[in-house]
Amino acid sequence: MTTPRHAPVLLDRVVALLAPALAHEGSVLVDCTLGLGGHTEAVLRACATARVIGIDRDTTALAMSAERLAPFGDRFQGVHAVYDELPDVLDTLGLHAVDGVLFDLGVSSMQLDVRDRGFAYAADAPLDMRMDGTTGPTAADVLNTYSAAELTRVLKEYGEEKFARKIAGAIVRRRETEPWTTSGPLVELLYAEIPAPARRTGGHPAKRTFQALRMEVNDELAVLRRAIPAALDAVGPGGRVVVESYHSLEDRLVKRAFSDVTRLDVPLDLPFVPEGSEPRFRAVTRGAERADDHEISDNPRAASVRLRAVERVLPPSGAVR
């Protein structure tokens, strides 16, 4: 997302992908991961007649983005929600279809920068990691209540941590004498449990564990699994869904969902496409697009991005043509 030191990843490309769908009067984009509003601001500047509905579960981000986007008046509206609640948001606003839906997944730079949120491992801070700080279990709750087997699953699945079982066992042993409250002792434990040769490759030794805990605390994959089909259902003909992913599991989920709606599901040797069998979406990107070396040098977060986009070409089943 955007702060004075951080720029949205692939900003120009994202705007270019969305602009054709937002060129007409009264067009609406839903920015499902509003953050500080960097993508939304760029869209509002580039697409003079578009409106943006900005969704975020983080109340602090909503307040800050509302201030930033105030000059655009009623062309912007912020909504406090989790992005899998997209259908409810649109229903509440009386919108039957929109022209674009954008996801910039993962943790925002703002959340990493605010020490008390507990997302970063650079300083000792409360083990919170909730994107919505008003509800739900914290990372400390996970560390203090999950069994060793459950912790192993989380670290393996979401962090792709090779030493997941070893780390999980150490976490459980430590909490028997002292509960987990802050990140500093967890970072120390990870340095102790991950062998020295492994610590010298693959970035900071705490990176994978902190990522896994964040994804578990915020139920990120389950939310995304519900949100992508909802986004595809929400756009009308000519509407586009654009997704930036930063984790292989996220990108795999998006890739599968997009493949399902763009695939021609008829025998290859059939001489014609029966009416009603045409794909209702087309791919706008060829596979997943990546950031170039220049952007990665300016914005390290861009190194892992995978950008995919699709466009609806036919109305939803049962819709009036």
User: Could you read off the pLDDT tens digit of each residue along the chain, which spans 321 residues?
Assistant: 334 445 799 999 999 999 999 999 999 999 999 999 999 999 999 999 999 999 999 888 899 999 999 999 999 999 999 999 999 999 999 999 999 999 999 765 544 455 455 556 667 889 998 988 778 899 999 999 999 999 999 999 999 999 999 999 999 999 999 999 999 999 999 999 999 888 877 678 888 999 999 999 999 999 999 999 999 999 999 999 999 999 899 999 999 999 999 987 666 656 666 666 689 999 999 999 999 999 999 888 899 999 999 999 988 765 543
Q: Is 56 annotated as a binding residue?
A: yes
9: left (phi over 0), alpha (psi -120 to 50) or beta: beta
In order of their start, the domains of the chain are 11-110+220-312 (3.40.50.150), 133-217 (1.10.150.170)
Q: Is 104 annotated for ligand binding?
A: yes
Question: What is the Cα–Cα distance from 279 to 62, expressed in whole angstroms?
Answer: 36
Q: What is the pTM of this model?
A: 0.87
Structure tokens at 171: 């976490």
Answer yes or no: is 37 a known binding residue.
yes
CA 217 – CA 215 distance, rounded (Å):
6
Q: Is 247 annotated as a binding residue?
A: no
Torsion, Cα 210 4 285 83, to 10 degrees, reads 60
